[in-house]
Amino acid sequence: MKQQTLKKSYTFTGKCLHTGTTSRIVVSPAPAGSGIRFRRASDGAEIPALACYVTSTARSTTIEKDGFSVQTVEHILSALYGMGVDNAVIEVDGIEIPILDGSARLYVEAFQADGLAEQDEERKYLDIKEEVFVSNETGSWIKIEPAKEPSFYVKVDFSSAVLGVQTASYDADTDYAKEIGCCRTFVFFHEIEYLFSNNLIKGGDVDNAIVIVEHPVSQAQVDAVAAKMGKAGMSVRPDGYLSNLELHFPNECGRHKLLDLLGDLSLAGGRLNARISAYKPGHGINTQAASAVLKVLKK
End-to-end CA distance of the chain: 26
**Residues comprising the chain, all counted:** 299
268 DSSP assignment? G
Q: How far is CA 150 from the centre of its chain?
A: 18
Task: Please state, in angstroms and as integers, the Cα–Cα distance from residue 21 to each residue in 71, 73, 203, 204, 266, following that order.
Answer: 12, 15, 7, 11, 26
Enzyme catalytic residues = 283
The identity of residue 188, as a single letter, is F
The identity of residue 79, as a single letter, is A
In angstroms, the CA 260 to CA 185 distance is: 9
In angstroms, the CA 62 to CA 60 distance is: 7
In angstroms, the CA 274 to CA 151 distance is: 7
Is there a contact between 107 and 28 (Cβ–Cβ < 8 Å)? no
Other CB atoms closer than 10 Å to residue 2's CB: what's the count? 12
Kindly tell me the burial class for residue 194, based on how many C-beta atoms sit within 10 Å of its own C-beta (0-12, 13-18, 19 or more). exposed
Sign of the alpha-carbon torsion through 226, 17, 285, 181: positive
